[in-house]
Structure 1
Amino acid sequence: MRRLLTVLLLAFVAVGLALPPAQAHNVLIGSDPKDGATLTASPERVTLVFDQAVRQGYAQMGVTGADGSAWADGAAVVAAERVSVKVKPLPAGGAYVVGYRILSSDGHPVTGKITFTLAAGATGQTAQGTQGTQGTQDTGAESAGSDAEAAEAAANGGAGMAVVWIVGALLVLAAGTAVALRRSGPSAAPAPAAQAAEAAEAAEKSQAEETRA
């Protein structure tokens, strides 16, 4: 039994070492411009900073005005913990929302937003944003969301199968050890009994010789 417990303990320790450490979802820790800031000039780029690296290929960012017009100029760029997007020259005196969707390093999608305001006397332009671009950005975000969810499901499924295989291997190992111990137990038991029988026989012979004498 001690052998069985020792084997199981070592197996569980090995499983713990083999499994990857749990990772938390990415958390937004900063941005440029800062969330809620009032600017005196139109920003050329909006940058988000997270607490850990962001996965490539899934990040989406959009800059939307109060009237729903889109002001992001191109796709989001990922550089380790930073995700950024270029911004078209913004009209002065408006509030803007920066929405984002990324895929965390642990495989889970994270969404959120920040806001900033461009002061009325700020340097900018009076041209309107592209209304049609908003629909394109929404479609891209939905596509990225589907890809992120698929990647998350694949990652979770792979980890789940690994755990199933490991648990199955532990059960087989435990069963084999138990059978081996049961088989070895009875075969080892007769040794003391045989020694006792030999001792009894020797005692009888000795007593018989003493009686004859």
Structure 2
Amino acid sequence: MTPVPSPIRRVTLVLPVVLVALLFGAAPAWAHTELESSTPAENAEVAQAPSEITLTFSENVPADTAEIAVLGPDGTDHAGGPATGADGTLTVPLQPLGAAGSYTIEYRVVSDDGHPVSGTIPFVLTQAGPGAATADAATAAPTTSAAAPAAAEDSGDGGDGAPVWPWVLLAVVVLGGGAAVALRRRPG
């Protein structure tokens, strides 16, 4: 006759399977918006100054909450207006770009689940843009937009989604507690 496992032993045997199923079943819900592409592309070298930039995300992002700046070599923000768009693609008009050199697109958007997503996209303008003549004539010091998002902003989890460590810690605590209870109740 085969001995019937105690209820605690059954729970101890089934609990890890349930926890693993829950952990892997919830993984798609942890996915957050990610930047899929941009124009200009990351690290692109462009000869003609663009009149707008586009950012395409993996999910729809509201344009009215997007913060996008296009910083030139001198730190001037060349964004010419707010972002517009739909279906995960945002477009921002640009003021005429100036000197040839490194430009950086800085963005901060909010995903459908409310998680902020931010990043930077560098590109190089290889020939001076139409704003170069205006910049040469201007005597005022360059200014940066107060709306420019912070490049180093950190949401605490690397921006890749919900952190996994709380779930792993919970699984270890539950499994350890279940094993301790099962071992204490073992007939012996």
Matched residues, number = 170
Task: Describe the shift of the 1:125–1:135 C-alpha distance in structure 2 as closer, same or farther (beyond 3 A).
Answer: closer
Match of 2:20 among 16, 21, 31: 16
Residue 33 of structure 1 corresponds to which residue in structure 2?
Answer: 40
Residue 97 of structure 2 corresponds to which residue in structure 1?
Answer: 90
Residues 5-84 of structure 1: matches in 2 within 5 Å? 7-19=11-23, 20-21=26-27, 29-34=36-41, 35-39=44-48, 42-50=49-57, 52-53=58-59, 60-76=67-83, 81-84=88-91
- Distance in 2 (CA, whole Å) between partners of 1:53 and 1:165 is 30
Give the CA deviation at 1:71: 0.7
- Distance in 2 (CA, whole Å) between partners of 1:141 and 1:79 is 24
Q: CA RMSD in A?
A: 4.6
Task: Describe the shift of the 1:77–1:163 C-alpha distance in structure 2 as closer, same or farther (beyond 3 A).
Answer: farther
Q: Which structure is higher in helix share? A: 1
- Which protein shows a greater Rg? 1
Task: Describe the shift of the 1:29–1:160 C-alpha distance in structure 2 as closer, same or farther (beyond 3 A).
Answer: closer
The answer to whether the 8 A contact 1:77-1:84 is kept is yes
Residue 177 of structure 2 corresponds to which residue in structure 1?
Answer: 172
The answer to whether the 8 A contact 1:97-1:115 is kept is yes
Task: Describe the shift of the 1:96–1:74 C-alpha distance in structure 2 as closer, same or farther (beyond 3 A).
Answer: farther
Indicate yes or no: 2:126 matched with 1:136: no
User: What SS class does the counterpart of residue 54 from structure 2 fall into?
Assistant: strand
- Distance in 1 (CA, whole Å) between partners of 2:96 and 2:168 is 52
Give the CA deviation at 1:87: 1.1
The answer to whether the 8 A contact 1:54-1:104 is kept is no
Which runs of 5 or more residues in structure 1 are unaligned? Answer: 186-213
Indicate yes or no: 2:117 matched with 1:112: no
Which runs of 5 or more residues in structure 2 are unaligned? Answer: none
Instruction: State the identity as a percent.
Output: 22
- Distance in 1 (CA, whole Å) between partners of 2:179 and 2:65 is 44
| Higher RCO (CA 8 Å, separation ≥ 6 residues) | 2
TM-score, with structure 2 as normaliser: 0.58
The answer to whether the 8 A contact 2:74-2:142 is kept is no
TM-score, with structure 1 as normaliser: 0.53
- Distance in 2 (CA, whole Å) between partners of 1:78 and 1:5 is 56
The answer to whether the 8 A contact 1:99-1:114 is kept is yes
